[in-house]
Amino acid sequence: MNDTTPNSYRTGPDERGRFGIFGGRFVSETLMPLILDLEAEYEKAKTDPGFWAEMDDLWTHYVGRPSPLYYAERLTEELGGAKIYMKRDELNHTGAHKINNVLGQILLARRMGKTRIIAETGAGQHGVATATVCARFGLECIVFMGATDVERQKPNVFRMKLLGAKVVPVTSGRATLKDAMNEALRDWVTNVENTFYCIGTVAGPHPYPAMVRDFQSIIGKETRAQMMEREGRLPDTLVACIGGGSNAMGLFHPFLDDPEVRIIGVEAGGHGVDDRMEHAASLTGGRPGVLHGNRTYLLQDADGQILEGHSISAGLDYPGIGPEHSWLHDMGRVEYVSVTDDEALAAFQLSCRTEGIIPALEPSHALAHVAKLAPTLPRENLLVMNMCGRGDKDIFTVAEALGSKI
Amino acid sequence: MSRIDAKFAALKAEGKAAFVSFVMAGDPDYETSLAIVKGLPAAGVDVIELGMPFTDPMADGPAIQLAGQRALAGGMTLGRVLEMVRSFRVDDQTTPIILMGYYNPIYSMGVERFVAAAKDAGVDGLIVVDLPPEEDDELCLPANAAGLNFIRLATPTTDDTRLPAVARNTSGFVYYVSITGITGAASASAARVAPEVDRVRKATGLPVCVGFGVKTPEASAEIAGVADGVVVGSAIIERIAAGEDTASVLAFVKSLTEAAHGA
C-alpha cells in the first residue's frame, strides 16, 4: 500500500485517526460528537501529570505492576535455542493484561463525568477487568457478551456478576464477540448522555486504537527497562498473540523504532488458514474492510459480508484486528504468522510441564510460535514472549480438547 | 434537477409532506421484495429507501437486523440490490430510490465501480450510516461527482457547531433521526421534533425528513405536520416478517401515506 519507509513507526495516527489507510472514524452521526469529545478529553489527559500519577499509583498498588520479566530457563533448555523470557502480565490483578487499559479508560470516564460504563467481552477477560474497576470506583457496569460465549465461559460470567456488573447475553447475529460489540454500540447510541464505552482492544473508531495502545504500552516500556537491567541491551525478538491485538501492541510499540528488534505477531489459525475460513487470522487470511468504526483487515466474503472467526481461544475469535497492526503488516515492520488450535494446545501443556505456569489459550498461541522459532535461533538471541493471561479460565476447554473430564 | 429535488418541489407545490418508506432489498426473498417495492408508489410512497443488507448493522434495531439476515440467507448481494433497482426502473422513472446501508459491502465492491453501477441502475441517492462528514472523501465526494445525492443523518447530538459540517456536501434532503437510539426503538413526539426540524432546515437549506420510531398512521400524520417528510421502516418490515402477503403490506403502507399526506 505505502512503499515509503517513515522516519518513525511511532507517530501515528494522523489527525484523522489513520495509520496509513487504516483506522479512521466510521461511525454513525449520533456517535460522532461523542468520540470527538472523548478524543479532546484524552488529548488533555495525556499531557496531564496528575492523570498519569493516578494511573501509576493504581498500576502499582491495585494491579501489581511492574509485572516480572521472567527468564524461562527450563523452556529455554527444552527448546535448545534462543534465551526465552516471559513478560508475566498474567500476574496482574484479574489475571490478564486487560486491566492496564481499563484503568485508563475508567479514569477518563470519571473525568468526563460519565456514570454508566458499557463494555463488550468475548472470553470474559475484558468484561471481568471492567467489572472489577467499576466496582473499585462505584460505577454502574453493563457487559455485552454473545450468548454463545456466555454459555462457554460460565466462570467469568459469574465473576462479573459477583463484581456487581450486569451481563447482557447478546443473541443478535451469530451471538459472539462481534455481535457483542454491535450491541454495545447500539446501547451507546441510545444512552449518549451518561454512558462511556470501554473498548477492550486496539480497535474501534479513533481515538480508541491509539488510546488503548498508549495504556497497554506500559508492557513494552517495562520490558525495555527490565531487559536493559538484566542483560544490558534490548531484546532481539518479541512474540505476542493477536486477537484484536492490544497485548501485542502494548509490547511492540515502544520497540517499533529499534530496527534490530525483530517483532512477530501470532494470529489464531484455528483449524488452519485456508478457504474453509475456520480461523481468526485477519491478516494472513483476510482483506481490508470497514467494521466497528475502523478500516482494517477483516474476515469477509466476496460481497463484503463479515464472517465469524474460529479459534479454540474465545479471546482471539474476532474477525478483525486493530488498524495499527494492519498498517505495520503492510509496512513490513512486524511479521504476522498464525498457529493452529492443536499447536496452541501443545504449547499450553509445554508451559505447564516445563515452567509450572498454566497459560491462557491466547498466549499459548504466542508460545506455540516460540516453540517453532526458538530452536532456529542462537543461544544469545534474547526472546521475549508476552504471557498476557493466565489459564484458569481455560481449563474446561482444554480438558474437553484433551478428552479429560473435570 | 435530480429526481429527489423534483419530487420535493412537486410536493411543496401541493402543500404535502413526503412519505418515505424503508424496506430491506431481498426480504423475505428477491421476488416478493421486488413486488412490494414495485407496489410502493401506488400505495402513496413518494421516496423509496431500499436497504442494502449487511451482517453487522450497528445502528439498527431487531426488526431491520432480522430483515437483513433474511435477505442475506436468501442470497442477496449488493449486485442483486442494484439489479432490483434496474427492474423497478423499467416501469417507474419518477419515484426516487435511495440505497441505505453500511459502507463495507460498497468498499468491497469498489467505490468507483459501485457509484457507476448505482447511477446506471437508476439509483438517486445514498445513505450510508457509518460514513460521517469526517470520511467524506471515501464515498460522498465520488457519489456527488457521479450525480448521486448523498443524504446525511442529523441527530439530537448534532449540535449547532456541528451542523455546518453535516450540511457540507449533502443534497436532496436531510434525514433527521428523531431519537438517540437505534431504528424501530422509542418514538419522539412531534412537539419535540418541530424545533429540531427548523434548526436543521435553517442550517442546511434542505427539506428535512424525520424517521426512527414512527410506527402508526397517527404518528405518521403528526410528524408529517411538522417536517418536510416522514420515514417509516421497522413498522413495515415487521409486517413482512409476520408473513403478511404483498397486498396486505401495501395496504398498511397506504394507511401510513394517507395519514401523512392528509396532515
What sections of A259-304 are H helices per DSSP? Answer: 282-285
Cα(A149)–Cα(A42) distance, integer angstroms: 32
Of A4-13, A82-91, A347-356, least confident by mean pLDDT is A4-13
Q: Are residues A269 and A291 in the same domain?
A: yes
Inter-chain touch B55–A173, beta carbons under 8 Å: yes
- Residue A254 has a pLDDT of 98
Residues A269 and A365 in one domain: yes
Residues A111-130 have a mean pLDDT of 96
Please judge whether A173 and B77 are an interchain contact, meaning their C-beta atoms are less than 8 angstroms apart: no
As a whole number, the mean pLDDT across chain A is 95
Mutate: best of A27, A30, A318, partner B, most B CBs <10 A: A30
Q: How large is the average pLDDT for residues A250-259?
A: 98
Q: pLDDT tier at A347 (50, 70, 90 boundaries)?
A: very high
pLDDT at residue B198, as a whole number: 96
For cell 413518494, name the residue.
B46
> Could you tell me if A188 and A110 lie in one domain?
yes
Q: What pLDDT does B118 receive?
A: 98
- Its domain, for residue B89, covers 3-262
What CATH number corresponds to the domain at position B105? Answer: 3.20.20.70
Across the interface, whether the CB atoms of B56 and A306 are under 8 A apart is answered: yes
The verdict on residue A31 lying in a domain is: yes
For residue A156, is pLDDT > 70? yes
Collect all residues of chain B within an 8 Å Cβ-Cβ radius of residue A173: 55-56, 65, 69
For chain B, the straight-line distance linking the first and the last C-alpha, in angstroms and rounded, comes to 27
Q: Are residues A202 and A222 in the same domain?
A: no
Please tell me the total count of domains within chain B: 1
**Residue A400 binned pLDDT confidence (cut-offs 50, 70, 90):** very high
**pLDDT exceeds cutoff 60 at A1:** no
Mean pLDDT of A270-280: 87
Question: Are residues A76 and A53 part of one domain?
Answer: no
pLDDT classification of B93: cutoffs 50, 70, 90 = very high
- What is the pLDDT averaged over residues A90-117? 98
Residue B47 in contact with residue B127, Cβ under 8 Å? no
Query: What pLDDT, on a 0 to 100 scale, did the predictor assign at position A4?
Result: 61
Does B69 reach chain A within 8 Å, measured CB to CB?
Answer: yes
**Same-domain pairing of A253 and A366:** yes
Cα–Cα dist B55/A181, whole Å: 13
Interchain contact B132–A (C-beta under 8 A): yes
Is pLDDT at B188 greater than 80 in this prediction?
no
Cβ distance of B157 and A34 shorter than 8 Å: yes
- Does residue A48 lie in a domain region? yes
Per-residue model confidence as pLDDT tens digits over B18-57: 999 999 999 999 999 999 999 999 999 999 999 999 999 9
- Predicted local distance difference test score (pLDDT) of residue A385: 98
CATH at residue A393? 3.40.50.1100
Chain B hits for A298, Cβ within 8 Å: 104
B222 in catalytic set: no
Domain boundary pick from A212, A237, A253? A212
To the nearest whole Å, the CA of A196 is away from the closest chain B CA by 15
Percent of chain B with pLDDT over 90: 92
Written as one string, the DSSP assignment of A13-34 is --TTSEETTEEEEE--TTTHHH
Are A303 and A386 members of one domain? Answer: yes
Q: Residue A293: its chain B contacts at CB < 8 A?
A: 130
Number of domains in chain A: 2
Domain containing A318 equals 66-95+217-401
Longest CA span, chain B? 47
Mean pLDDT within B240-258: 98
Q: What is the mean pLDDT of residues A361-366?
A: 97
Same-domain pairing of A300 and A382: yes
Give B166 to chain A, closest Cα distance, Å: 9
Rounded CA separation B135/B103 (Å): 11
The mean pLDDT of A362-388, rounded to a whole number, is: 98
- Model confidence at A92: pLDDT above 70: yes
Local confidence band at A154 (pLDDT 50, 70, 90 cut-offs): confident
A123 and A240: one domain?
Answer: no
Task: State whether A259 and A333 are in the same domain.
Answer: yes
Per-residue model confidence (pLDDT) at position A3: 53
pLDDT band at B180 (very low <50, low <70, confident <90, very high): confident
Annotated active-site residue B60? The verdict is yes
Closest CA to A261 of A232, A231, A242, A238: A238
Backbone angles phi and psi of B256, in degrees to 5: -75, -45
Query: Active-site residue among B46, B60, B136, B228?
Result: B60
Range with the lowest mean pLDDT among A225-229, A305-309, A325-329, A348-352?
A305-309
Hey, are the CB atoms on A185 and B77 less than 8 Å from each other?
A: no
Residue A58 has pLDDT above 80, yes or no: yes
Query: How confident is the model at residue A277, as a pLDDT?
Result: 81
The alpha-carbon gap from A244 to the nearest alpha carbon of chain B, in Å, equals: 17
Q: Is the pLDDT of residue A279 over 60?
A: yes
- What is the mean pLDDT of the segment spanning B81-88? 98
How many Å apart are CA B89 and CA B84, to the nearest integer? Answer: 9
Verify that A141 and A78 share a domain, yes or no.
no
Q: How confident is the model at residue A7 (pLDDT cuts 50, 70, 90)?
A: confident
What's the whole-number mean pLDDT along residues B143-167?
94
Count CB atoms within 10 A of the CB of residue A389.
28
CA distance B176 to B61: 17
- pLDDT band per the 50, 70, 90 thresholds, residue A298: very high
How would DSSP label each residue in B74-91?
A: TT--HHHHHHHHHHHHHH
DSSP state letter for A80:
T
